[in-house]
Amino acid sequence: MKVTRLLSNLLASLFLVVVPAHADEISVAVAANFTAPMKLIAAEFERDSGHKLVTSFGSTGKFYAQIKNGAPFEVLLTADDETPDKLMKEGAAVSGSAFTYAIGKLVLWSAKPGLVDGAGAVLKRGDFAHLSLAEPKLAPYGAAGVEAMKALRVYEAIQPKIVTAENITQAYQFISSGNAELGFVALSQVLKDGKIDGSSWLVPANLYSPIRQDAVILEKGRGKQAVDALMKYIRGDKAKAIIKSFGYELS
């Protein structure tokens, strides 16, 4: 009888070790350019913490509108540093909770080898029918692409050839499918194992404003331990290593 009770207590103790006492589910909105690294970070976080992430990927501008209309997100990872600041000022995000989790890099990319040269001269030649980028009003990488073209003084000539995508994931799809010969995307989308297929030009940072990507706790996530744990995890060494592996810089 004592042995049975002892085994029962031991099994109960092991169960408590394996299953976190306060496992929770967190709703996270993530900028589309950060899809691949976030999936890896989410898997590691869930394994290490026991919490579960429900992630949605899309354009920063659309998420802003959804949050203002009551979307149940608790954490927002944007592609800029302006949206979190705006949400905090408007009372839709927790004041002081924002931080820069990554600094993005813009790349001009084509799935076709040899089309994009190492100096981006293809933009001045204009020997292509379509160039894709994410909607500049909603997606910071799209805005950065426009900014770069204007800095190079080629925007007016290229504008009629621009195919505007809903977000940067769709811009990538347009290019990879060949519906647009080339376009502006995030380096993280095309960098795989340190290499880029097709042809590309890493746009010099002085041609566009820094793409500082900030994370912020939204009002629906205020005071939740699981949310605080996620934010701490994103700033930890394991997440940082993943972020750097996709070509992002850290602040």
CB 227 within 8 A of CB 221: yes
Structure confidence by residue, pLDDT tens digits, 138-197: 999 999 999 999 999 999 999 999 999 999 999 999 999 999 999 999 999 999 888 999
Q: Are residues 142 and 166 in the same domain?
A: yes
Structure confidence by residue, pLDDT tens digits, 61-84: 999 999 999 999 999 999 999 999
Q: What is the count of structural domains for the chain?
A: 2
Q: What pLDDT is attached to residue 23? A: 78
The rounded mean pLDDT for the chain is 92
* CATH code, 195: 3.40.190.10
The answer as to whether 4 is a domain residue is no
CB 55 within 8 A of CB 77: no
CB 54 within 8 A of CB 25: yes
Parallel, antiparallel or unpaired: strands 106-110 and 199-202: antiparallel
Q: Hunting for tokens 């920063």 — which residue is that?
A: 60
The rounded Cα 139 to chain-centroid distance in angstroms is 11
Q: Are residues 25 and 145 in the same domain?
A: no
Q: Are residues 119 and 92 in the same domain?
A: no
Q: Are residues 125 and 191 in the same domain?
A: yes
Whole-model pTM? 0.85
**Residue range of the domain that includes 136:** 106-202
Q: Are residues 150 and 116 in the same domain?
A: yes
Strand ranges for the chain from DSSP E = 25-31, 52-58, 75-77, 99-104, 106-110, 131-134, 162-165, 182-186, 191-192, 195-196, 199-202, 211-217
